[in-house]
Amino acid sequence: MARGLASCTVKQCQKQTKNDGFALCSRMPLKLTALATLRNLALAPLTTNRPRHAHPDTAVLFLNDVAACPDDLLELPHQRRAQAADMACALDWIGDDPPVFYDSYVARAINGDTFFEIPAPSVSWARAAALFWNEPVARRRFAAHRPFQVFACWNGPVVFTARPVVEGSVRFRGPRAERGECHAGEPQVFCKDMWWEGYGRIMVVPGVDLEYSVEKGRAIKESTGFASRLAVDENYVGAAAGPCQVYAVVCGPELAALERDL
C-alpha cells in the first residue's frame, strides 16, 4: 500500500484539493491527504458526469481488502435502504485468539468515543474485548445483531448515499489543522462532513462481520453468524438511527500509534 501511495505526490494532491475548493494538503499529513485524493478519484464518475449518474437513489459501495461474501455486499445496501440510513458500515475484525475489532482509528460511537477503551498515552488494545463499554444502546443492539447508530465508521465495506457527493457538499479530505480540527483519518472526516450537511443517519450492521483473510473470516462468520442466515430473522431489521446530537468526538493519536500489526 505504501508503494502505491508514493506515486501520489504533494503537488498532485494540492492540485486536486485546490480545484475542489478544499484546503491545500501541504498543511495536512501526507498519508491522509493521499488517501483522500485516491478515494475522490473513485468518486469521479459522480462528480464529473453529474447529468448521467446523479439519480436520487444512487449509493456508493466502498470495499477495502477484507474477505467479503456476496451476501455481505447485498446486506449493507439492503439495510441502508430498510433503515432509511445515509451510511451503513460492516464490522471488520483482525486476529483469531480472539479476533478484535480493527478500525479503531476511524470508528466512533454515537457518544463520540472509540468502540472500545483505548487509554492514553499507552494506546493499548488490552480492553478491545469490551466493545461499547460506555454506550449501552450500541452494546445491547450489537449483542442482538441489530443495526445501531454511530457518529463515524468505515470498517471495511461501507455503503453511503451519493447525494452529498453529487451536490458537491462532501468530499474526502484530510483534517484542517489551521481550523483546529484534530488529527483524524479521511473516512472519519468524511462522516463528520456528512453530519454537518444533514446526513447523520450513520449506522453499523453487526450481521456483516469481515476479516482480512478467507480462513479467519470464515471462522468469525461461523461464530457470529453469516449475514444471509441472520437476515432470515424478521426482527433483524429494527430502528437503528434516530435524531440525536453529538457534542464531542474523541480525537485519535498519530495514525501509526493505532495501527496494530497482528
* Any domain includes 5: no
Give the distance, in angstroms, between the CA of residue 99 and the centroid of all CA atoms in the same chain.
19
Q: Which of 143-147, 199-203, 236-240 has the lowest mean pLDDT?
A: 236-240
User: What domain range includes position 124?
Assistant: 56-258
Asked if residue 20 belongs to a domain, the reply is: no
| Rounded CA separation 222/219 (Å) | 5
The answer to whether residue 29 sits within a structural domain is: no
pLDDT tens for each residue of 91-108: 999 988 899 999 998 999
Write the DSSP assignment of 104-147 as a string of letters.
TTT-EETTSS-SS---TTTT--TTTTSTTTT-HHHHHHHHTT--
Q: pLDDT tens digits for 103-134? A: 998 999 999 999 999 988 888 999 999 999 99
- Total domain count for the chain? 1
Which has the higher per-residue pLDDT, 239 or 158?
158
Q: Could you identify the residue written with the cell 455486499?
A: 73
User: pLDDT tens, 11-63?
Assistant: 333 344 333 333 333 344 566 778 899 999 999 988 887 656 567 788 999 99
Look at residue 56 in the predicted model and tell me its pLDDT. Answer: 73
Q: What is the spatial distance between Cα 150 and Cα 257, in angstroms, rounded to a whole number?
A: 23
Task: Name the pTM for this structure.
Answer: 0.80
Asked if residue 4 belongs to a domain, the reply is no
